[in-house]
Amino acid sequence: MKTILTGIRVNSELTLGNFLGALLPMTRLANKYSDEYNINIFVADLHTIIAEQDGGLQHNLLMLIKMYLAAGLKVNDNVHIYRQSYVPATSEMTWILNCVATMGELGRMIQYKEKGRGEDSCNVGIFDYPVLMATDILLFDGNYIPVGQDQFQHIELTRDIAIRVNHRYGEIFTVPEKTSEQAKFMGSNDGIRIRDLVNPEKKMSKSAKAENSKIMMTDDPEKVAKKIMSATTDSLGEIDFDLKKRPGISNLLQIEALVNDRPLDEVVAEWKGKSNYGDLKKKVAESVSTMLADFQARLAKITDEEVYELMETGEKYANKLANAKLLKLQKAFELR
Ligand code: TRP
């Protein structure tokens, strides 16, 4: 059975953008494929600590898993949820792969370039981040790795590392699919960027100052409806989808499609040419506030115990596989 695998960094609070752009598509993908694929969804807690957290790592971690469950993730025997740091082979294998990856490769990673290259205060974890990620994938023979475009470079690196190791030591790793194949597999869910409601040229961000700019998943549904009613659009007078020229109205159409799990084309066709922006806003406000109310009700019912049990089961499974893979690599390097 092939494996779909993804790691999620712990985040202090989720915006509607994070939810619709990442968490919900991953949940739908997992539900769609969990009869034919292994689905590994893990909390990348070791990746998380490259920067300080606000709100407390453990609390945020529990919340993150609860949000997947509240989003409708169905857990069967093929779905594995675990914490990265509870699979110690991860750290060991990362060291070995550090002796395979090169300074040149890691120095070219965009994330590193943006987050601290050349600064003495940049922690080594930021530099080594992609090797840890390669380990996450290679430990479990991951084939499909649903991630945002910003992570594609890390998947290419993972492939290079796997190919290099296999070339030197024989078939140890499964080489994940090329990023072009990854994108096909994810379909239209890839690259969704929900916009700031006030400044729709920008991505929706939890750090936006204006309250009306962003929707948090824990916001009161009625307040959210008001925020959507006051969203910035344009004065062209006719609804149409054009993210570059008309980001505000396009953002609303996109939200409407995602929340209702409908193809964007279909939603656009339904509204195109109409002149009453208020009707569209009303419809989107209703869709989002209903979705949020349901989501929050489900979220409130999920207990910590339930989440711990799920993770512990996942970790038993993950450690067994990971230890076997690590041993193979250790033998190749004559460490065993
Ligand atoms: N680096 C990913 C991100 O920032 C998270 C991540 C860590 C990951 N390990 C992974 C994603 C392995 C996919 C596979 O979003």
The CATH number of residue 290's host domain is 1.10.240.10
- pLDDT of 117 > 90? The answer is no
- Decide if 138 is inside a domain: yes
According to the model, what pLDDT value does residue 188 have?
61
**Percentage above 90 pLDDT, the chain:** 91
**28 assigned to some structural domain:** yes
Residues 135 and 267 grouped into a single domain: no
Residue 180 and residue 44 in one domain: yes
Please give the distance, rounded to the nearest whole angstrom, from the Cα atom of residue 37 to the centre of ligand 1.
19
Q: Tell me: pLDDT of 127 over 90.
A: yes
Indicate whether 328 and 263 sit together in one domain: no
Does an H or E element contain 46, and which? helix 45-48
Distance set, CA 10 to CA 45, 48, 60 (Å): 7, 6, 6
pLDDT at 11: 86
Mean per-residue pLDDT, 9-18:
91
2 pLDDT band, cuts 50/70/90, is very high
pLDDT for 190 equals: 55
Q: Average pLDDT over the chain, rounded to whole? A: 95
**Are 224 and 91 in a shared domain?**
no
The answer to whether 245 is a known catalytic residue is no
Domain of residue 185: give its range.
3-192+304-332
| Residue 119 predicted with pLDDT over 80 | yes
Looking at per-residue pLDDT, the higher value among 60 and 118 belongs to 60
Instruction: Supply the pLDDT for residue 195.
Output: 96
Higher pLDDT, 189 or 227: 227
- Residue closest via CA to ligand 1's atom 11 equals 7
- pLDDT surpasses 80 at 109: yes
- Domain assignment of residue 22, yes or no: yes
Q: Helix, strand, coil shares of the chain as percentages rounded to 5?
A: 60, 5, 35
pTM above 0.75, yes or no: yes
Nearest partner of 192 among 23, 12, 2, judged by Cα? 23
What's 75's domain CATH number?
3.40.50.620
Mean pLDDT, to the nearest integer, of 32-61?
95
| Ligand 1 atom at minimum distance from 142 CA | 14
Question: Is residue 47 domain-shared with residue 102, that is, in the same domain?
Answer: yes
Strand order of the β-sheet with 38-43 is: 3-8, 38-43, 79-83
d(Cα 290, Cα 273) in Å, to the nearest integer?
Answer: 26
Q: Check pLDDT > 70 for residue 103.
A: yes
| 253 and 151 part of one domain | no
Distance (Å) from CA 109 to ligand 1 centroid: 14
CA distance 124 to 37: 35
Residue 32 designated active-site = no
Q: Which residues, 6 or more positions from 325, have their beta carbon under 8 angstroms from its beta carbon?
A: 89, 93, 138, 139, 140, 141, 172
pLDDT tens per residue across span 247-275 = 999 999 999 999 999 999 999 999 999 99
Q: Is 21 close to ligand 1, i.e. is its CB under 6 Å away?
A: no
Q: SS3 for 334?
A: coil
**Angle at CA of residue 266, ends 265 and 267, nearest 5°:** 95
Residues 274 and 294 grouped into a single domain: yes
Residues 63 and 151 in one domain: yes
User: For residues 55 and 19, which has the higher predicted lDDT (pLDDT)?
Assistant: 19
- 66, 184, 202, 206: which one is catalytic? 206
